[in-house]
Structure 1
């Protein structure tokens, strides 16, 4: 178990979202290079399986002039306009092989985006003494991370070397014989060989990448573990952070609004100023009791109250002056003031008449 260098004790707590965000700002994120390599191999295999034969055949036919007519070509290259001619031949060959470069580069970009590994931080560029410290480097190489990296590299290289040796042992003579064949025959053989080798490499790389992704996430979380002292300091900093205060206030307001909206279906009537205010009132009809405000709001919140009321089939009564007055003077959970009895009584009578009419339609 790692120890807190600052004397805070064992780091046994998982990193908080704030600690993860701070690490990301510094460029410290879980990034699997093996996943990127696997995607590059898969991209190459895709190119080989689709346009690879055509691309290599085109490039081979362009470059075959170096083999078929070397004396004649050399005279042209050494003469006037030779560099331009050589550049034209090479650019044509590279253009034919373009998919072998463009698709893997796209795979690298996809890998970085998928891992959310695109970060811009000056932290990594700053010189640090621990980067040149022999003790720190020894811990990296012989610690858990270094041993896992060594094991992955050893398994990957061993598996690829064994697969390559087995393939070459059985197919070497045919490959040597094809070197004296025509361009399209050589290209076909090369593509067949590439398909087999890349297929094996892709399989090995995919397995290792899957393991590496899990390991990188585990190791990242392990390195960012927190001690009890770390947690206390983070909470103390967060309490004084205006941004965190604003977030807590927003969360509290959201929770309060959701609870308030849950009470809207219990209301007897919603009194509204059509677009700006909405006040939901509930009346127990007990002697001596007055209607109670169970929800209120303006603008967007008023719209949400109306939507919930319409879904719950709660009558909505339009009375702009009363809606504004109730919103200004009555808090949630409080009874309305006597000044509003007459207007609210009219709204409740309106709501009762709508319910009575609805029941009558249901009976018929």
Structure 2
């Protein structure tokens, strides 16, 4: 009951991290029908392309063996050499078709998902030997789908084969009394027809089964809101910790700003909401913003400036503009040169007058 409830809570689409983890654990989309389609297709191709040459090669080998059987030594090392020779000739005749089948079986899996190396599926689990779990798998949605799919394939293939062979029934009866050498071409042609029909049917079955398997796999990967939040904490960090880190950074920035205020040339204020401290010395391209703040931070900047004897100039429009457009340790933009130059010039004149 708890497992069903947990599954019902998984209503959110899986994240990319969840999908990657499923792949690492060997949980991938896999349709056996797709792999079967590739293998049967490869078998049909091998039979049509290499069937004639392979059968001719094997026929020649067996014909020579039967023709010379009376004079072949079969005792001791001679029998071993004969067996090795026959094995090599048979292997040479069927090597390429079998290689093609192997590559087709591999391609049938690779085309559905990239290669996965995982030992998790081999690790012992109690659910694999649990009678209750086995009974549940026996009557699961997947088992029902496999049963229906098997019945459907049997019905479709059986019907197609019957329709194909029924018109050939007289011809097949005549093969009983036909020269064995003439049976092979007829059997090969008829087999290729049957395989063609089977491939056409399996194309539809494989496509439908892959879509079904993908949907089942995707549903298994769905996540609950709690899982998404937990994953976010693992990947992005706990929001509380991030907020604390952000507070510490802001505290360090404020301390650095306040330490730079006594060295500023002028502090431009709103006067109550904003404060921007600028520093200008000979050789600088433009005044530099060494501190800025709003409300309580602005008040603190004005207090530090007053204690250090830094001039505080009230210019609300300029203070608001500089606060919004200039970052700390950044030169003021060229469009504000004139307004800032007037303030800095005014401060310079005051300093000269007092000195």
CA distance in 2 between partners of 1:330 and 1:111 (Å): 60
The equivalent position to 1:335 in structure 2, one of 323, 333, 336, is 333
| Displacement after TM superposition at 1:4 (Å) | 4.9
Which consecutive unaligned segments of at least 5 residues does structure 2 have? Answer: 243-317, 323-327, 341-355
| Pair 1:52–1:3, CA change in 2 (3 A) | farther
The aligned counterpart of 2:149 is 152
| Displacement after TM superposition at 1:78 (Å) | 4.2
Asked if 1 retains the 8 angstrom alpha-carbon contact of 2:50 and 2:97, the reply is no
Counterpart secondary structure, 2:74:
helix
Counterpart secondary structure, 1:35:
helix
The aligned counterpart of 1:201 is 198
| Displacement after TM superposition at 1:181 (Å) | 2.6
| Displacement after TM superposition at 1:7 (Å) | 5.2
Could you report, residue by residue, the CA deviation over 1:250-302 in whole angstroms, capped at 9, with x for unpaired residues? xxxxxxxxxxxxxxxxxxxxxxxxxxxxxxxxxxxxxx9xxx9xxxxxxxxxx
CA distance in 1 between partners of 2:95 and 2:43 (Å): 12
| Pair 1:98–1:7, CA change in 2 (3 A) | closer
The aligned counterpart of 2:247 is none
| Displacement after TM superposition at 1:101 (Å) | 0.8
Q: How is 1:320-359 mapped onto 2 (pairs within 5 angstroms)?
A: 330=330, 335-336=333-334
The aligned counterpart of 1:93 is 90
CA distance in 1 between partners of 2:44 and 2:205 (Å): 17
Which consecutive unaligned segments of at least 5 residues does structure 1 have? Answer: 246-287, 293-327, 342-364
| Displacement after TM superposition at 1:175 (Å) | 4.0
| Displacement after TM superposition at 1:147 (Å) | 0.7
| Displacement after TM superposition at 1:156 (Å) | 2.0
Q: How is 1:6-155 mapped onto 2 (pairs within 5 angstroms)?
A: 10-65=9-64, 68-69=66-67, 72=70, 76-78=73-75, 80-155=77-152
Asked if 2 retains the 8 angstrom alpha-carbon contact of 1:4 and 1:10, the reply is no
Asked if 1 retains the 8 angstrom alpha-carbon contact of 2:30 and 2:213, the reply is yes
Could you report, residue by residue, the CA deviation over 1:340-362 in whole angstroms, capped at 9, with x for unpaired residues? x9xxxxxxxxxxxxxxxxxxxxx
| Pair 1:17–1:4, CA change in 2 (3 A) | farther
The equivalent position to 2:215 in structure 1, one of 214, 218, 221, is 218
| Displacement after TM superposition at 1:158 (Å) | 3.5
The aligned counterpart of 1:347 is none
Could you report, residue by residue, the CA deviation over 1:113-158 in whole angstroms, capped at 9, with x for unpaired residues? 2222410112111100001112212222211111111122222233
CA distance in 2 between partners of 1:220 and 1:21 (Å): 13
Counterpart secondary structure, 2:116:
coil
Could you report, residue by residue, the CA deviation over 1:175-197 in whole angstroms, capped at 9, with x for unpaired residues? 4344x433xx3432232122112
Q: Indicate the structure (1 or 2) with the bigger Cα radius of gyration.
A: 2
| Pair 1:71–1:53, CA change in 2 (3 A) | closer
| Pair 1:125–1:338, CA change in 2 (3 A) | same
Counterpart secondary structure, 1:77:
coil
**Within the alignment, does 1:172 sit opposite 2:172 as a pair?**
yes
| Displacement after TM superposition at 1:232 (Å) | 2.3
CA distance in 2 between partners of 1:159 and 1:77 (Å): 50
| Displacement after TM superposition at 1:96 (Å) | 1.4
CA distance in 1 between partners of 2:81 and 2:32 (Å): 40
Superposed CA RMSD in Å reads 3.8
CA distance in 2 between partners of 1:91 and 1:201 (Å): 33
